[in-house]
């Protein structure tokens, strides 16, 4: 009879998707070195790498006990370091299909570990992070059978490993609905964190830090047909509808790198030109648009129907409904709506029930994201000041007024000289105006005016807003 292996009580299945990232090895080393029990870590990496990134770099940093196996289409390299087990799924970088696809590939190797930790490939950690994460998760069992710890961690600088932006734990907060209908988040310091005794409820999910029971890696797997944006809000909803409760840690676990300036991204490599050269089947932007359509259908953004797409195991759970999540989070996907409590960063209300539709709609404000984008030639066709040849280079400030279909003013915004210098990109003025309006007030057009130092109007341009 075959003996079934027993999983140690505090074993952790660590998930990392890495794309051409020189911070991968330092991240894995720090993860292991700062762990109280490195022997209980099983670290799976989707190693999306170029030809100049080789196994030699791992061996030079002390990783040993190498062996390789062939699993499906991929070679998996097995290594160890300080008794931690590492498995690298070897994916040539031009063969990847995106971040969510890579995360899904990692999750297929889940082996029944007690806990799971999802990360990016650019992190640093506090001493004893594993013990701390387990203690925080277990402290929630009296109010949640399936808690998840998740947050945007404070920043570190890979050029200065001692530099940390903060030692304070952070929570996820609402930022905006993007034009494509994706709910985006920001982070803020958790208030009164020193006096708190347990993690706090969260509306949202961070893909770069999530710690949960191991079964989370099986039940709420990443949809491989997602690309990037939409990943986190879809996982928040799917986790919630599968009965998981989201929390932000009240103690600092580690740091994350946000600037990305030092590393190549998939959208740099998987370009239209790369497809024309025959290096890839599909450029990144085509994958991204299909992913955004899938996200709109899953969540019913702008009234799109769930039945339009077959989601299978990557759909919503059966323990709670989408309406339950909306009531909990204060988000109305169909109308791009948010409640004032969300804008105030008030805590979410567990157990909330969504009222009848009229009452629900009356509680929401519409979240708007308007892109103001005008070429220099567009401004020059509407010059308003004699003697000025080109309006955009001569401008020192900008005013934008946004209207609905009835010509009601929804938003007026002024951009000063410093903002103008950021938003003037080559021959374009290009920036976003985000704001809330009454639910039925949908932006339909904008007027943008350029001014000189004396306040003279250099140019006035009107543009319709695409639905």
User: pLDDT per residue over 219-249, tens digit each?
Assistant: 999 999 998 889 999 999 999 999 999 999 9
Run of H or E including 136? helix 129-138
Strand pairing partners for 462? 447
Quote the pLDDT of residue 236.
98
Using alpha carbons, list the distances in angstroms from residue 249 to 27, 32, 70, 139, 430: 20, 20, 38, 11, 37
Position 307 pLDDT exceeds 70: no
Position 2 pLDDT exceeds 60: no
Say how far apart CA 346 and CA 123 lie, in whole Å: 29
Quote the pLDDT of residue 263.
76
Quote the pLDDT of residue 259.
82
What mean pLDDT is predicted for residues 374-403? 91
Quote the pLDDT of residue 309.
59
Say how far apart CA 302 and CA 321 lie, in whole Å: 18
Position 1 pLDDT exceeds 90: no
Say how far apart CA 360 and CA 327 lie, in whole Å: 9
Position 5 pLDDT exceeds 70: no
Say how far apart CA 26 and CA 208 lie, in whole Å: 16
Quote the pLDDT of residue 433.
95
Give the pLDDT band of residue 306 (cuts 50, 70, 90): low
- Domains (range + CATH), the chain: 1-362 (3.90.550.10), 368-464 (2.60.40)
Higher pLDDT, 240 or 276: 240
Say how far apart CA 317 and CA 333 lie, in whole Å: 17
Q: Which tens digit of pLDDT belongs to each residue from 344-356?
A: 999 998 998 999 9
- Among the residue ranges 94-103, 159-168, 283-292, the one predicted with the least confidence is 159-168
Using alpha carbons, list the distances in angstroms from residue 175 to 233, 236, 242: 12, 15, 25
Quote the pLDDT of residue 278.
87
Q: Which tens digit of pLDDT belongs to each residue from 21-75?
A: 999 999 999 999 999 999 999 999 999 999 999 999 999 999 999 999 999 899 9
List strands edge to edge, sheet with 200-201.
64-71, 74-81, 84-92, 41-49, 12-19, 115-119, 209-213, 147-150, 245-248, 200-201
Run of H or E including 431? strand 428-438
Q: Which tens digit of pLDDT belongs to each residue from 161-181?
A: 777 878 999 999 999 999 999
Say how far apart CA 24 and CA 93 lie, in whole Å: 14
What mean pLDDT is predicted for residues 102-111? 97
Tell me which residue of 36, 15, 14, 34 sits closest to 26, measured CA to CA: 34
Say how far apart CA 362 and CA 443 lie, in whole Å: 19
Quote the pLDDT of residue 467.
63
Quote the pLDDT of residue 217.
98
CA 444 to the chain's CA centroid: 28
Residues present in the chain in total: 467
* SS3 label, residue 3: coil
Total-model pTM = 0.92
Position 267 pLDDT exceeds 90: no
Quote the pLDDT of residue 25.
97
DSSP string, 211-225: EEETTHHHHT---TT
Q: What percent of the chain shows pLDDT beyond 70? A: 98
What mean pLDDT is predicted for residues 384-393? 83
What mean pLDDT is predicted for residues 266-289? 86
């Amino acid at each position: 009879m075959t003996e079934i292996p027993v999983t140690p009580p505090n074993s952790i299945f660590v998930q990392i998707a890495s794309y051409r990232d020189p911070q991968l090895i330092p991240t894995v080393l720090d993860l292991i070195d700062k762990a109280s029990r490195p022997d209980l870590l099983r670290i799976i990496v989707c190693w999306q790498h170029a030809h100049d990134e080789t196994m030699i770099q791992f061996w030079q940093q002390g990783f040993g006990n190498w062996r390789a196996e062939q699993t499906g289409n991929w070679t998996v390299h097995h290594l160890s370091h300080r008794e931690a087990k590492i498995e690298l799924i070897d994916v040539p970088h031009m063969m990847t299909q995106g971040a969510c696809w890579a995360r899904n590939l990692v999750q297929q190797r889940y082996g029944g570990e007690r806990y799971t930790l999802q990360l990016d490939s650019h992190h640093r950690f506090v001493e004893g992070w594993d013990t701390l994460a387990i203690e925080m998760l277990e402290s929630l069992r009296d109010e949640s059978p399936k808690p998840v710890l998740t947050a945007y961690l404070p920043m570190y600088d890979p050029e200065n490993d001692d530099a940390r932006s903060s030692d304070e734990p952070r929570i996820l907060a609402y930022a905006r609905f993007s034009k494509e209908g994706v709910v985006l988040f920001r982070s803020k310091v958790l208030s009164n964190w020193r006096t708190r005794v347990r993690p706090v409820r969260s509306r949202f999910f961070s893909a770069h830090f999530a710690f949960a029971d191991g079964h989370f890696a099986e039940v709420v797997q990443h949809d491989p047909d997602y690309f990037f944006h939409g990943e986190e809000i879809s996982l928040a909803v799917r986790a919630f509808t599968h009965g998981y409760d989201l929390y932000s840690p009240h103690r600092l676990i580690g740091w994350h790198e946000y600037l990305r300036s030092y590393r190549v991204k998939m959208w740099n490599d998987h370009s239209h030109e790369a497809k024309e050269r025959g290096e890839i089947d599909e450029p990144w932007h085509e994958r991204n648009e299909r992913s955004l359509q899938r996200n709109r259908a899953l969540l019913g953004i702008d009234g799109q129907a769930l039945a339009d797409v077959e989601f299978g195991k990557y759909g919503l759970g059966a323990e709670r409904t989408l309406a339950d999540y909306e009531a909990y989070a204060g988000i109305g996907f169909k109308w791009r709506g948010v409640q004032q409590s969300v804008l105030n960063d008030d805590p979410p209300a567990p157990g909330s029930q969504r009222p009848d539709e009229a009452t629900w709609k009356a509680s929401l404000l519409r979240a708007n994201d308007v892109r103001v984008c005008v070429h220099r030639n567009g401004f020059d066709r509407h010059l308003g000041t004699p003697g000025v040849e080109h309006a955009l280079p001569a401008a020192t400030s900008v005013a934008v007024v946004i209207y609905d279909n009835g010509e009601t003013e929804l938003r007026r915004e002024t951009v000063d000289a410093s903002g103008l210098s950021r938003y003037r990109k080559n021959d374009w003025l290009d920036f976003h105006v985000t704001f809330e309006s009454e639910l039925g007030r949908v932006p339909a057009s904008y007027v943008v005016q350029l001014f000189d130092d004396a306040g003279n109007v250099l140019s006035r341009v009107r543009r319709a807003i695409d639905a």
